[in-house]
Amino acid sequence: MPVKKHQDFPPVRVKDGMSRTVMHTDHLMTVVVDFTGGPWEEPDPWHAHPHEQVSYVAEGEILFLCEGEPDAHLGPGDLFAVAPGRKHTIRLLTGKVRLIDSFYPVREDFLGAVPNPDFGKQEGAKA
């Protein structure tokens, strides 16, 4: 069973106040996203993607916004799901936030952030 220790790979800086650490198999991706610099006056820009997403709030508090849904104040232990193609965003309500995001299928746009893109693949599996 592949195991990856957090201290064995550095997070990738996405932008000021945001970094992510990525692990994936052929079909599923999990991303640890760390935010600093909150609370924010405004939410992050709205976005959508063709992937299913489930996110776990591991640290801090956020306001989760998703088109067609009421805004939700979420904290540690809370989860949210996003359907493919649905516009969504967050606003930090605390100084630091850590989200654990899972995506299906794998987000190809995040693969450049993976220090070892073959990690977790079964021997003989297609790339």
Assigned domain for 13 exists: no
- 105 preceded by a cis bond (ω within 30 of 0): yes
Residue 80 lies in a domain: yes
- Is residue 48 assigned to a domain? yes
Per-residue pLDDT of the chain (127 residues; tens, 9 = 90+): 577 787 777 788 999 999 999 988 889 999 999 999 999 999 999 999 999 999 999 999 999 999 999 999 999 999 999 999 999 999 999 999 999 999 999 998 888 755 444 544 444 444 3
Please count the structural domains in the chain.
1
Q: How far apart are CA 29 and CA 107, in angstroms?
A: 7
d(CA 32, CA 57): 10
Q: Considering the domain boundaries, does residue 105 fall inside one? A: no
